[in-house]
Amino acid sequence: MLEQLKKAFASDKAALLLTGFCLSLLVGALYVSQPAMLRFLDYKIYDQLLRRTHSTKTSGVPVIVDIDEKSLSALGQWPWPRYRVALMLEKIRQGGALAVGMDMVLAEPDRTSPSLLRSQIKKELMVDVTFQGLPPALEDHDALLASVLKDKPYVLGFYFSFSRAEADQQRQDGQSAITPAQVAVLEAPGAMPADKALHSAFGAVCPLPVLGSAASATGFFNATPDADGILRRVALLIHYDGRFYPSLALATLMQATGEQGVLLKLDTQGVESMRVAGTVAPLDRAGQLLVNYRGGGGMFPYISAVDVIEGRADPAQLNGKVVFIGTSAAGLKDLRATPFTSVYPGVETHATVLDNILTQEFLTVPDYAPAVELFATLLAGIAITLLVCWARAVWIVAPLVAMAYGMWEGAAHLMDTARVYISPLYSYIALGLNFSLLTLMKFWREEKQKKFIHGAFSHYLAPAVIKQIYDSPESLSLQGQEKEVTVMFSDVRGFTTMSEKLTPTQVTDLLHDYLTPMTRVITHNMGTLDKFIGDAIMAFWNAPVDVPEHQKKALSSALQMFTHLDELNEGFKQKFGLTIKIGVGLHCGRVRVGNMGSADLFDYTLIGDNVNLTSRLESLTKYYGQKLLVSQAMVEACGDAYAYVEMDSVRVKGKHEPITIYTAMTHEEAAARAGEIREHEAALALYKSQRFAEAEAAFEALGQSTGNEALYGMYAERCRALSERPPGADWDGVYTHTSK
């Protein structure tokens, strides 16, 4: 049998190793394929790490002039007349701003221009309208704004379309209204062409030609979120119609610094980086910058647009700053979701990008990240495989937690110090998948071994003991443990005399037919059979496993045993020509439970004073003429679940402390015996109050009416003796038994 176990163990370990290595390779293949669902999980890990490691410190350069709810309430809904926009721009420039980027597209003529109003009224109402005293410069608001834009550091926004729908019309209307960037390309040998690496647009929603041609620069404000709707990356350059166009943040930075162009570095896989204003910005292969958000909204100074227009803004807030004009008003719908919040003003993204470039605080996913992530994935899978194969279960948890914690903290440390994101996602998948499946396989293997051992030893050990050893191998010692249990002793009355009338075979058959159903009652109620002592049964509850309300289950077992015995006696009378009676004692308390004996041979059992007390209770059932005796502790534990009748207050042999003993029954039986119980309690009250003559008469009457001479004859005799020799004033009513 030992050799079989060794061979099975070696075979199962090889299966575990092979499975673990295959699972590691499977997770590696998943990493290469990058399923969409796992990319979604990777995004969430990135967001968690960014929230943990981000810095709220900024360059202090970007400022946002906000077309907020306050401005809309004071000056009317958007769009405002272009003369008001021109006034706002001039106020900002006069405040000392280095450059101003407008996060909006002025694509349509201003319908509030007097010249346009005049022509529309003439056309629609056939009425000539004149405006007296109106300066010629205010006749056309778009022309007025264009004159303000000319030769000033203002950057107009526009929007690229990546759909072919209406692309031709957009190109015709706006091709000359947007300004391309001057891009120098540094290509490695075999580099991917820039127009293939960068995102390409099919059309653009551009500013009015009169505005676009007057503005010093334009910049797109497209921002495409990831698949989960979160904006993490923004393009700095987009290819359109054979040219490269800058983002609003990039164009505004170039206006503020006086830069004339950018240097784009390409390799065989696409974009590598971009140099602007003396800073090298790392980009992904599509020319996108991973935005290093400073937190939720409001990380940059906000100035209300109405305060700027009406001259209430402090010029110091604008002097030497780069200003972005945008909106935080919910009604204008320029709100985006970021790793920090689901409601983030889009204009603040442009400010963050510019701030990242100025501070050179970039987040990157370096070229070596895939190799590191794949290696970590395979290493995690192999490590947990070896651990599960060779370590005991108790030693697996700590290394598993340590590896998981180390991977998370390592990723957080890299992001915090090197601003590099190395994803731990697939390492976690390898760790979790290998641990779960291999542990399941190991559990299945151990279950097979348990069944094998159980089949081999079930003929020698009690099933409850085998299960306890399986569940808690450390309990296989001679120490045991102290525990609250309920103990039962049951004995057949006069079995020795009865067996003299039967042959040895009949005695064996009788014991088998009696003990089998009694044992099933005990085990069915979650009891543990300790041993058979001839015709006696010793059992207990709440060990080796915990049994809720074990006292009630033990008492229920005793009452069920009496019911089964009534049925058994019908068969015994026919088969053996006799019936049997049993007595049961029940008590609960703390005992020592475990493997008792020598180092070579031991037995799972109980020892302790409470075990001895239960045995005494079972012996006293004959003395009191009762089938069942329970202790006060059992009565308190079972409560109202059963009915109880007090028998006596006694000191059993070997015990100094007195106990009160009871018989127990169902409430239905108590109701049927209500008259007897009332008379019994009344007689016992007379006895305790030392009215012995009256008590004697009451007990004799009960003995005659119930036929229980053992109980009531004993009490009548005890009352006569106490009447002849009255006890002293300190008599406590406790009877001392001098025999077992």
Chain segment 373-394, per-residue pLDDT in tens = 999 999 999 998 888 888 776 6
Looking at 25-39, 68-82, 475-489, which range is the least confident one?
475-489
- Domain identity same for 572 and 678: no
The pLDDT assigned to 375 comes to 95
The pLDDT assigned to 598 comes to 67
The pLDDT assigned to 461 comes to 43
309 confidence band (pLDDT: 50, 70, 90) = very high
- Over residues 449-471, the pLDDT tens digits come to 666 555 544 443 446 556 655 66
Looking at 310-319, 325-334, 699-708, which range is the least confident one?
325-334
Residue 435 structure tokens: 């641990």
- Domain identity same for 599 and 525: yes
By CB neighbour count within 10 A (0-12 exposed, 13-18 middle, 19+ buried), where does 713 fall?
middle
The pLDDT assigned to 415 comes to 95
Checking if the pLDDT of 358 tops 60, the result is yes
Place of tokens 């935080």: 328
The answer for residues whose C-beta is within 8 angstroms of residue 557's C-beta and 6 or more apart is 488, 521, 522, 524, 525, 527, 539
CA 101/CA 207 separation, integer angstroms: 13
The answer for residues whose C-beta is within 8 angstroms of residue 661's C-beta and 6 or more apart is 617, 620, 624, 629, 630, 631, 632, 646, 647, 648, 649, 650
Checking if the pLDDT of 205 tops 70, the result is yes
Cis peptide before 548 (omega within 30 of 0): no
610 confidence band (pLDDT: 50, 70, 90) = very high
Helix (H, G, I), strand (E, B), or coil: what is residue 592?
A: strand
Q: Which of 359, 388, 420 is the last residue of a domain?
A: 359
By CB neighbour count within 10 A (0-12 exposed, 13-18 middle, 19+ buried), where does 376 fall?
buried
What mean pLDDT is predicted for residues 552-557?
96
- Domain identity same for 379 and 343: no
Length reported for the chain: 740
**Residue type (1 letter), 269:** Q
What mean pLDDT is predicted for residues 494-499?
86
411 confidence band (pLDDT: 50, 70, 90) = very high
The alpha carbon of residue 47 and the mean position of all alpha carbons in its chain are separated, in whole angstroms, by 19
Closest CA to 206 of 180, 182, 231: 180
- Domain identity same for 172 and 297: yes
CA 71/CA 259 separation, integer angstroms: 33
- Domain identity same for 376 and 274: no
The pLDDT assigned to 8 comes to 45
Question: Is 668 a member of any domain?
Answer: no
Question: Is 475 a member of any domain?
Answer: no
Checking if the pLDDT of 528 tops 70, the result is yes
Task: Say if residues 491 and 618 touch (Cβ distance below 8 Å).
Answer: yes
Question: Is 662 a member of any domain?
Answer: no
Question: Is 411 a member of any domain?
Answer: yes
DSSP per-residue codes, 614-654: HHHHHHHHHHHT-SEEEEHHHHHHHGGGSEEEEEEEEE-TT
Residue 461 structure tokens: 């050990």
The pLDDT assigned to 286 comes to 94
Q: Angle formed by the axes of helices 425-457 and 393-413, to 10°?
A: 180
- Over residues 247-292, the pLDDT tens digits come to 999 999 999 999 989 999 999 999 999 999 899 999 999 999 999 9
Checking if the pLDDT of 640 tops 60, the result is yes
DSSP per-residue codes, 16-46: HHHHHHHHHHHHHHHHHH--HHHHHHHHHHH
The pLDDT assigned to 163 comes to 79
Residue 621 structure tokens: 């059932």
Domains: count for the chain = 4
Its sign, for the CA torsion 287, 292, 296, 300, is negative
The answer for residues whose C-beta is within 8 angstroms of residue 106's C-beta and 6 or more apart is 82, 85, 145, 156, 207, 208, 211
What mean pLDDT is predicted for residues 514-540?
90
- Domain identity same for 535 and 584: yes
Give the chain's mean pLDDT.
88
Checking if the pLDDT of 669 tops 90, the result is yes
Question: Is 664 a member of any domain?
Answer: no
Q: Angle formed by the axes of helices 82-94 and 141-149, to 10°?
A: 20
Output the 3-class SS for 201-247: CCEEECCCHHHHHHCCEEEECCCCCCCCCCCCEEECEEEECCEEEEE
What mean pLDDT is predicted for residues 548-566?
95
- Domain identity same for 166 and 245: yes
Q: Which of 399, 421, 456 is the last residue of a domain?
A: 456
CA 386/CA 266 separation, integer angstroms: 43
170 confidence band (pLDDT: 50, 70, 90) = low
The pLDDT assigned to 521 comes to 93
CA 427/CA 408 separation, integer angstroms: 10
Task: Say if residues 587 and 594 touch (Cβ distance below 8 Å).
Answer: no
Place of tokens 């930075």: 253
What mean pLDDT is predicted for residues 656-664?
92
396 confidence band (pLDDT: 50, 70, 90) = confident
Instruction: Read off the DSSP letter of residue 192.
Output: P
Q: Largest alpha-carbon pair distance within the chain?
A: 140
The answer for residues whose C-beta is within 8 angstroms of residue 597's C-beta and 6 or more apart is 478, 603
- Domain identity same for 576 and 489: yes
Closest CA to 530 of 473, 593, 621, 582: 593
- Domain identity same for 206 and 310: yes
- Domain identity same for 129 and 272: yes
CA 395/CA 386 separation, integer angstroms: 12
CA 603/CA 586 separation, integer angstroms: 22
- Domain identity same for 42 and 66: no
Task: Say if residues 426 and 46 touch (Cβ distance below 8 Å).
Answer: no
The answer for residues whose C-beta is within 8 angstroms of residue 341's C-beta and 6 or more apart is 296, 297
- Over residues 477-490, the pLDDT tens digits come to 556 789 999 999 99
By DSSP bridging, strand 582-597 and strand 481-492 are: antiparallel
Checking if the pLDDT of 404 tops 50, the result is yes
Beta bridge partner(s), residue 240: 243
The pLDDT assigned to 169 comes to 57
Question: Is 464 a member of any domain?
Answer: no
CATH number at residue 563: 3.30.70.1230
Question: Is 702 a member of any domain?
Answer: yes
Checking if the pLDDT of 229 tops 80, the result is yes
Closest CA to 352 of 407, 393, 297, 291: 291
What mean pLDDT is predicted for residues 671-688?
94
CA 200/CA 469 separation, integer angstroms: 70
Question: Is 343 a member of any domain?
Answer: yes
Checking if the pLDDT of 165 tops 90, the result is no
The answer for residues whose C-beta is within 8 angstroms of residue 18's C-beta and 6 or more apart is none
By CB neighbour count within 10 A (0-12 exposed, 13-18 middle, 19+ buried), where does 451 fall?
exposed
Residue 42 structure tokens: 């990777």
**Residue type (1 letter), 600:** D
Closest CA to 204 of 247, 251, 252, 162: 162
Q: Which of 306, 332, 359 is the last residue of a domain?
A: 359
DSSP per-residue codes, 44-93: HHHHHHHHHH------S-EEEEE--HHHHHHH-SSSPPHHHHHHHHHHHH
- Domain identity same for 387 and 535: no
CA 48/CA 41 separation, integer angstroms: 11
By DSSP bridging, strand 643-651 and strand 659-665 are: antiparallel
- Look up the domain containing 496 and give its range: 482-650
